[in-house]
Amino acid sequence: MTHAVAAPTLKMGIPISNAKLGMWLFLGTEIMFFTAFIGTYIVMRMGSLGWPTDPHVTHINIAFGGINTFVLIVSSYFVVVSHDCLLSHQYAKAWKFMLYTLLLGCLFLGIKSLEYAGKFEHDILPGHIPENNRQAMDKVVVQFGALMDRHLAKAFPKKEKREDQKAELDTQIETLSKKADATASERKQLSQYQAIAKLNSEYISLKEHVRGNLSLTVPYDKFDDIRKEEHASSKYAPVTLDEVNHKVEELRKGVVGTHEQSIDEGEHKAKEPNNDSDIIKSLASGLRSAQPILYGNLFASNYFLMTGFHAIHVIIGLFMFLLILMKGSRLSIDDAILVENIGLYWHFVDLVWIFLFPLLYII
Amino acid sequence: MSDHNPAVEHDESHGSIYFRVFIALCVFTLISVAADLVHLPSKILLGAIVLAVAVAKALCVLMYFMHLKFERAWKYLLLAPTTIIALALPVSLRPDIGSSYYFQDLQQLKDYPEHEARVLDALKHESGHH
């Protein structure tokens, strides 16, 4: 009788390590996660006539996008080199390439933050973008109001309500103007208050023009009479965005009280800058003209959602690299699977960017 | 027992292949940027070129950097369902949002003539300066 030979142990399932299988399953969910964003973006983009593509409008910087693409490709290459070095027992070299990858990941985030700073500077943020002329004019008025609130609150920090601050402003101007023996600092203070008051009256005038839909060529002091007229809206020209933006630019130059002049008249009469011009200029420096961007909010939402989630993945990848780097001289062949899995994750991050770059920066 | 670590599935070096793939990826990126810089006559052509380049780059990364070329058939088992489900969402959204037979009552569509006039105005200004 012969003894039965023990059957070889059967390995069930997929012939790869559990860790690698886990990483691939995770990457499978990640593919679905990003495809949902990318797919909906493509669908929205196709279904929206007039989607913003001009880089001067969207402030998309193709140079930043191109450099970041290159940075990620190099970092992806360094990860595979690091893994390769590990397999050939060149542990110090593997560690060095992992460090380079980490630094390139940081560089990617640095460039990304520069891009984000540009978006914040131009207010290309979801919910902040006017999509037609009316919304652009409203935006100018709202930001002008916020600016006046800041100036009044700074001048009179003890008063909380805007009405109280304005009443205090009038009182201070009256008191200081009547003071015959005013000191230099009091005269300076008076000029400051007068400039705030002038700017505030400009704000109120602009707000009323926009709300009443009356051209800036219609003097504000006639508004009470106009309101009493029948069919006033058909008698007077409506306010236009060009007028409002022109007004903003004038104020930024320190010029006040010019709204009676039409901007369509071509050459303007030379405006004499008054004494408060410099103070007005500094007070109005926070004002910005506004241009509408059709589908701008949808664009900004998509941009920040996709690039934001991608950046979060980059940050997580950097922590993974740190995990390897912290092993220092203890890095060995036993870490090969870990390095390979981290590499798989990092290549996936690169893969997502490969699609985001043409979709967001080129098309 | 061999001292070979069973957990390491790919112990052969692919150093030279990796470098060639890296160069190919750089070249593909340059093609994408060049396609944008030469101002192609059609946006659709530009889109087709850069997306085709993106697919080629993605295949390079998947096949070589992510080792799928050297893996066995499990890759199809694992990635096919994912790919199908991933594509299902945009494909199912397309008829409703991407293209529809009815007129959508959207504020942005009402604003489109105003937007078009503004773009034309800007173009006129630009050509005037030139």
Tally DSSP H helices, then E strands, for chain B: 5, 0
For range A141-161, the mean pLDDT? 90
Q: Could you report the per-residue pLDDT of A220-260, keeping only the tens digit for each?
A: 877 877 777 777 667 788 888 988 999 999 888 888 875 54
The share of chain B scoring above pLDDT 90, in percent, equals 21
Q: Which of A201, A215, A38, A60 is nearest to A137 (CA)?
A: A215
The verdict on a CB contact (< 8 Å) between A132 and B115 is yes
> Using CA atoms, how far apart are residues A249 and A259, in angstroms rounded to an integer?
12
The verdict on a CB contact (< 8 Å) between A62 and B33 is yes
| Residue A131 forms contact with B (CB below 8 Å) | yes
Per-residue confidence (pLDDT) for residue A269, from 0 to 100: 43
The verdict on a CB contact (< 8 Å) between B54 and A333 is no
Structural domain includes residue B13: yes
Residue B129, min C-alpha distance to chain A (Å): 17
Pick A362's closest partner by Cβ from B46, B72, B86. B46
Residue A183, min C-alpha distance to chain B (Å): 52
Are A356 and A313 in contact by the 8 Å Cβ rule? The answer is no
Pick B98's closest partner by Cβ from A32, A43, A350. A43
Mean pLDDT of chain B: 80
Number of A–B residue contacts, CB under 8 Å:
175
Mean pLDDT of chain A: 86
Are B115 and A53 in contact by the 8 Å Cβ rule? The answer is no
> Using CA atoms, how far apart are residues A171 and B38, in angstroms rounded to an integer?
64
The verdict on a CB contact (< 8 Å) between A336 and B112 is no
Q: Could you report the per-residue pLDDT of A168-178, keeping only the tens digit for each?
A: 899 988 888 88
Structural domain includes residue B68: yes
pLDDT band at A307 (very low <50, low <70, confident <90, very high): very high
| Residue A55 forms contact with B (CB below 8 Å) | no
Q: Count the domains in chain B.
A: 1
Structural domain includes residue B11: yes
Nearest CA in chain B to A45: B98
A245: which 2 tokens? 């933006």
Chain B residues whose CB is inside 8 A of the A355 CB are 54, 58
> Using CA atoms, how far apart are residues A266 and B80, in angstroms rounded to an integer?
65
Per-residue confidence (pLDDT) for residue B57, from 0 to 100: 94
Structural domain includes residue B50: yes
Are A294 and A136 in contact by the 8 Å Cβ rule? The answer is no
> Using CA atoms, how far apart are residues A278 and A17, in angstroms rounded to an integer?
71
Asked whether residue B13 carries a pLDDT value surpassing 70, the answer given is no
In this prediction the pTM is 0.83
Residue A107, min C-alpha distance to chain B (Å): 18
Q: Could you report the per-residue pLDDT of A12-51, keeping only the tens digit for each?
A: 677 788 898 999 999 999 999 999 899 889 888 887 888 8
| Residue A332 forms contact with B (CB below 8 Å) | no
Q: Could you report the per-residue pLDDT of B78-126, keeping only the tens digit for each?
A: 889 888 988 888 788 777 666 666 677 777 788 888 888 888 887 787 7
Using only C-alpha atoms, chain B has a radius of gyration, in whole angstroms, of 24
Q: Which of B52, B58, B1, B2 is nearest to B25 (CA)?
A: B58
Per-residue confidence (pLDDT) for residue B108, from 0 to 100: 79
Buried residues in A315-341 as b, exposed as e (16+ CB within 10 A): eebbebbeebeeeeeebebebbbbbbb
pLDDT band at A10 (very low <50, low <70, confident <90, very high): low
| Residue A76 forms contact with B (CB below 8 Å) | yes
Contacts of A105 (CB under 8 A, 6+ apart): A75, A314, A317, A318, A321
Pick B54's closest partner by Cβ from A74, A344, A354. A354
Structural domain includes residue B107: yes
Nearest CA in chain B to A33: B86
Burial class (CB in 10 A: 0-12, 13-18, 19+), A270: exposed
Among B4, B23, B111, most A C-beta atoms within 10 A, so best to mutate, is B111
For range A307-332, the mean pLDDT? 94
Structural domain includes residue B1: no
Asked whether residue A207 carries a pLDDT value surpassing 80, the answer given is yes
Greatest Cα pair distance, chain A, in angstroms, is 129
Structural domain harbouring B19? 6-128
Cβ neighbours around A294 below 10 Å, total: 26
For B47, list phi and psi in degrees, rounded to 5: -60, -45
Where do we find the tokens 């409203």? A138
Higher pLDDT, B42 or B4: B42
Q: Which of A71, A83, A135, A62 is nearest to A109 (CA)?
A: A71
Structural domain includes residue B12: yes
Pick B5's closest partner by Cβ from A35, A334, A351. A334
For range A210-215, the mean pLDDT? 87
Per-residue confidence (pLDDT) for residue B5, from 0 to 100: 47
Asked whether residue A217 carries a pLDDT value surpassing 80, the answer given is yes
Structural domain includes residue B71: yes
Q: Could you report the per-residue pLDDT of A54-89, keeping only the tens digit for each?
A: 888 888 888 899 999 999 999 999 999 999 999 999
Per-residue confidence (pLDDT) for residue A40, from 0 to 100: 87
